[in-house]
């Protein structure tokens, strides 16, 4: 993973559903929020045989937790300033769609800057879903990308959504500085520096 070799279901180290679920439940019990978010990205990468995975949470301080941490598919390799990169088009899609599955970025003729950034590194298929807090308020998203086209199925997206529900982050764990931007989802998504990732609407529709 992350070394230029497509993932997919045949990749070594892929976790089955129950193992991934158990790992997420275990790591969610930690009092170390950043360690929890970083580990969740690693678990999602392993579960879906992905080549990159992200957990993003709106908060003060570090917001984006990326796997792999190093190599050509790391955040620093794809985006010059991954923690401050802004993509309002992606923010709008998160707000409007909730979840998304893209079988092949190569079939998109007009890619925006974020799509082009990951596509330039070889990412072909992507899926993502919103991340909520314990009250159901929008908090961020989880994302998986693969070097192989059609690497993820609609069933994978449903499973990703289920895993995201297991990753509910208690609001009390967020620092006080992040709370004002959580009051309105649309306003929050427009203001936050979101990482640019390739997405279209649910069921592969732009």
Residue 116 binned pLDDT confidence (cut-offs 50, 70, 90): confident
Mean pLDDT of 180-196: 41
Judge whether 28 lies within some domain: yes
**What total number of domains does the chain contain?**
1
The least confident of 13-22, 56-65, 75-84, 185-194 is: 185-194
Judge whether 6 lies within some domain: no
| Portion of the chain with pLDDT greater than 90, in percent | 32
pLDDT tens digits for range 70-84: 999 998 888 877 667
The pLDDT of residue 87 is 79
Judge whether 1 lies within some domain: no
The pLDDT of residue 104 is 97
Judge whether 40 lies within some domain: yes
The pLDDT of residue 68 is 95
Judge whether 2 lies within some domain: no
The pLDDT of residue 181 is 36
Would the pLDDT of 62 be above 50? yes
Judge whether 12 lies within some domain: no
The phi-psi region of residue 184 (left if phi > 0; otherwise alpha if psi is between -120 and 50; otherwise beta) is beta
DSSP string, 146-194: ESSTT---HHHHHHHHHHHHHTPBPGGGS-GGGGGGGSSHHHHHHHS-P
CATH number of the domain residue 103 falls in: 3.30.450.40
pLDDT tens digits for range 19-29: 888 887 777 76
Would the pLDDT of 108 be above 60? yes
Q: What is the mean pLDDT of the chain?
A: 75
Judge whether 8 lies within some domain: no
The pLDDT of residue 193 is 44
Judge whether 106 lies within some domain: yes
Would the pLDDT of 103 be above 90? yes
The pLDDT of residue 189 is 42
Q: What is the pTM of this model?
A: 0.74
pLDDT tens digits for range 121-162: 999 999 999 988 777 778 889 999 999 999 999 999 999 998
User: Domain range for residue 123?
Assistant: 17-200
34-38 long-range contacts, Cβ below 8 Å, gap at least 24?
Answer: 34/62, 34/65, 37/65, 37/169, 38/65, 38/67
The pLDDT of residue 112 is 77
């Amino acid at each position: 993973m992350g070394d230029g070799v497509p993932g997919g279901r045949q990749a070594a180290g892929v976790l089955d559903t129950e193992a991934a679920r158990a790992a997420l439940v275990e790591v969610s019990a930690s009092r170390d929020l950043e360690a929890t978010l970083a580990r969740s990205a690693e678990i999602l990468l392993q579960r879906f045989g992905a080549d990159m995975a992200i957990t993003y949470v709106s908060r003060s301080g570090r917001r984006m937790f990326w796997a792999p941490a190093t190599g050509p598919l790391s955040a620093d390799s794809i985006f010059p300033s991954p923690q401050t990169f802004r993509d309002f088009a992606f923010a709008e899609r998160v707000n409007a769609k909730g979840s998304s599955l893209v079988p092949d970025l190569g079939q998109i003729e007009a890619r925006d800057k974020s799509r082009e950034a990951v596509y330039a590194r070889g990412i072909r298929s992507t899926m993502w879903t919103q991340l909520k807090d314990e009250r159901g308020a929008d908090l961020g998203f989880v994302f998986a990308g693969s070097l192989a086209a059609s690497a993820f199925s609609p069933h994978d997206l449903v499973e990703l959504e289920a895993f995201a529900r297991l990753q509910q982050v208690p609001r009390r764990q967020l620092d006080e500085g992040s709370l004002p931007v959580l009051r309105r989802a649309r306003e929050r998504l427009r203001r936050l520096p979101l990482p640019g990732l390739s997405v279209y609407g649910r069921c592969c529709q732009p």
